[in-house]
């Protein structure tokens, strides 16, 4: 990789996955999605901010017609049974009868997806699947199916390629792991 340790906010990180390795796993996922969604014109729902770099590379690898929308998920305390209400900001597209692919940088506890999925399913899509750059099965706290995963990782803290540490590091081409 040729890169050494880096420091962000006084925390040390070591190289984990190079840009070339990331390109390889994202290309593989793009090929799978292209095959599975051939002729179905999916709507890729990209969760900002972390998903922007992954989404850009993934969508370049998707062969076929598709649409892309960028959303933000706002969480706030509510009065419903979960105690947390998810508001989806930016989803103006009609999703009824569409095949949705949620593009997420990382699924760890699964809490975001656990709250986001019911909100999307209420809108009547034909299908909803999750495509994640990283998945940490050891951290998962919810019954969640993450069908499309570029790379499973241990319960480590990673930064780079869209993922941040207190706002910094998203611009790094490689992924680093906390030492």
- DSSP labels, 94-156: --TT-EEEEEEEEESS-HHHHHHHHHHHTT--SEEEEEEEEE-GGG--S-----EEEEE--S-
Lowest mean pLDDT among 70-79, 140-149, 169-178: 70-79
3-class SS of residue 86: strand
| Residue 3 resides in a domain | no
Of all residues in the chain, the percent with pLDDT exceeding 90 is: 74
9-57: per-residue pLDDT in tens? 999 999 999 999 999 999 999 999 999 999 999 999 999 999 999 999 9
**Predicted pLDDT at 84:** 64
| Residue 168 resides in a domain | yes
| Residue 47 resides in a domain | yes
| Residue 2 resides in a domain | no
Count of structural domains within the chain: 1
Instruction: Give residue 108's domain range.
Output: 11-178
| Residue 45 resides in a domain | yes
Choose the catalytic residue: 108, 156, 164, 166: 108
| Residue 75 resides in a domain | yes
Distance CA 150, CA 129 (A): 14
| Partners of 15 in the β-ladder | 176
Active site residue 108: yes
93: which DSSP letter? S
**Of all helices (H) and strands (E), which one includes residue 60?**
helix 52-60
| Residue 5 resides in a domain | no
The answer to whether 2 and 159 are in contact (CB under 8 A) is: no
Rounded to 10 degrees, the C-alpha dihedral 168/162/132/63 comes to 180
Query: Sheet harboring 175-178: ordered strands across?
Result: 6-8, 11-17, 175-178, 158-159
Asked whether the predicted pLDDT for residue 109 surpasses 80, the reply is yes
Structure pTM?
Answer: 0.90
Q: Which residue has the tokens 């899509």?
A: 125
| Residue 164 resides in a domain | yes
Q: What is the CATH number of the domain that holds 77?
A: 3.40.50.2020
């Amino acid at each position: 990789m040729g890169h050494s340790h880096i420091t962000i906010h006084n925390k040390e990180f070591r190289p984990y996955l190079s840009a070339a390795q990331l390109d390889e796993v994202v290309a593989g996922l793009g090929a799978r999605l292209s095959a599975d969604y051939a002729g179905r014109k999916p709507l890729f729902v990209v969760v900002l901010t972390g998903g922007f770099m992954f989404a850009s590379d993934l969508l370049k690898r998707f062969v076929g017609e598709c649409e892309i929308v960028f959303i933000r998920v706002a969480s706030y305390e509510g009065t419903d049974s979960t105690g947390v209400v998810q508001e989806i900001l930016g989803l103006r597209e009609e999703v009824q009868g569409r095949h949705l692919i949620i593009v997420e940088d990382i699924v760890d506890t699964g809490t975001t997806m656990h709250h986001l999925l019911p909100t999307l399913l209420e809108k009547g899509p034909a299908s909803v699947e999750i495509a994640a750059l990283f998945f940490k099965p050891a951290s998962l706290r919810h019954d969640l199916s993450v069908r499309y995963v570029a790379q499973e990782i241990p319960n480590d803290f990673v930064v780079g390629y869209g993922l941040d540490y207190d706002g910094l590091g998203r611009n790094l081409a490689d992924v680093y792991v906390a030492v």
